[in-house]
Structure 1
Amino acid sequence: MISTPLDDLDRAILKLLKKDARLTIAEISNQLKKPESTVHFRIKKLQERGVIEKYTIILGEPIRPRELALVVLEVDKPIIEDFLDRYMEYVTKTLSGFPEVLFVAKSGKEKIVALVGGEDRDKLLKFIEENIESIPTLRSVQVLPISEIKKGDEISGFLAEV
């Protein structure tokens, strides 16, 4: 968490930059009706504090995956407990190597959650079947196709590989 709280001006600057990271200091200054020197100083401080880590792009509709699914994998608990961490690392690394896998996270000791994207539902499900469900020693694979995103639809454009 942030060691120094953000004030209203910091939040306003961040809100504008989240919408469009290409905004110039002059444009931000005009929109917020604050001097350019103040905006410049604040952005510099936000960067120094690690609040702004980097500026990036979000890929648009033509290049985003058209279909998404959350995939929850549960691994079989090995006889030797020490192998579980290594196997979880192996599975997460394997999943991370596929461009179709947009996000991978461990959940607890034995579960992995992945966000997977594809051109269409058939290709997405085929990819999951051939590349994820075939990973050895999985206890279960739950595929949750995403039918409608209510918030954060640009996340796939942010995570997608080109």
Structure 2
Amino acid sequence: MAVKSPKPAGRPGEPSKDVRPADLDDLDRSILSLLHGDARITNSALAEAVGVAPSTCHGRVRRLLELGVIRGFYTDIDPAAVGLPLQAMIAVNLQSNARGKIRSFIQQVRRMRQVMDVYFLAGADDFILHVAARDTEDLRSFVVENLNADADVAGTQTSLIFEHLRGAAPI
């Protein structure tokens, strides 16, 4: 599906602060559920599956993009298939005097090849990083050389992932 995502509001890389739920009907929810299962489904197949004309379906998808309900279409790469079979979640805490550097920390870790996802949190930890590595030595090197060596990082805690299962669509 060749549909472009609109730019999110706010600074680049920041999600929209508008958290009001969109007004979705059953057709929108059906479209979202099918796209969640297969973002590469053609518009014709999607329209047929939900029982509407292709033009109606395309208009609905475009509207969902414009509303920010659909944030984009992504390729789900299997880390093991590209030589990174070990996954972990790393809780990161910044030094209390580094609070002004939160955005730069986010930009820095997002550029690291091992980092799959970055979660900025409220609570005991400041961030959770979802990372992939070749093996335990590669993971250890990543944590020691990239995170613990950073003067702004107060500490880390690493948890290995045994299995990653995708959840249901949040609709």
TM-score using structure 1 length: 0.73
Which of the numbers 131, 144, 150 marks the counterpart of 2:159?
Answer: 144
Q: 2:50 and 2:83 mapped to 1: Cα distance?
A: 32
**Match of residue 67 from structure 1:** 86
What is the CA deviation profile of residues 12-35 of structure 1, one whole-angstrom value per residue up to 9, with x for unaligned ones?
A: 111112222222222112222323
Q: 1:17 and 1:145 mapped to 2: Cα distance?
A: 30
Q: 1:64 and 1:30 mapped to 2: Cα distance?
A: 38
Q: 1:88 and 1:36 mapped to 2: Cα distance?
A: 44
**Match of residue 142 from structure 2:** 127
Higher RCO, 1 vs 2 (CA within 8 Å, ≥6 residues apart): 1
Q: 1:66 and 1:22 mapped to 2: Cα distance?
A: 25
**Match of residue 160 from structure 1:** none
Kept after mapping to 2: 8 A contact 1:29/1:39: yes
SS at 1:62 equivalent: helix
Kept after mapping to 1: 8 A contact 2:91/2:128: yes
Q: 1:150 and 1:55 mapped to 2: Cα distance?
A: 19
Computing the radius of gyration over CA atoms, which structure comes out larger, 1 or 2? 1
Q: Establish whether residue 40 from structure 1 lines up as the match of residue 54 from structure 2.
A: no
**Match of residue 11 from structure 2:** none
Which of the numbers 13, 24, 31 marks the counterpart of 1:6?
Answer: 24
What is the CA deviation profile of residues 107-139 of structure 1, one whole-angstrom value per residue up to 9, with x for unaligned ones?
A: 349723222211222211222122212222533
Please identify, of 22-31 and 84-93, the stretch whose mean Cα deviation from structure 2 is larger: 84-93
Unaligned runs of 5+ in 2: 1-18
Unaligned runs of 5+ in 1: 79-83, 153-162
Q: 1:149 and 1:39 mapped to 2: Cα distance?
A: 32
Kept after mapping to 1: 8 A contact 2:22/2:69: no
**Match of residue 113 from structure 1:** 128
**CA offset at residue 98 of structure 1?**
1.2
Instruction: Please provide the CA RMSD for this pair.
Output: 2.6
**Match of residue 43 from structure 2:** 25
The structure 1 segments of at least 4 consecutive aligned residues displaced by more than 4 Å after TM superposition are none
The change in CA–CA distance for 1:25 and 1:95 in structure 2 (over 3 A counts) is: closer
**CA offset at residue 39 of structure 1?**
1.7
Q: Which amino acid is the alignment partner of residue 105 of structure 2?
A: V
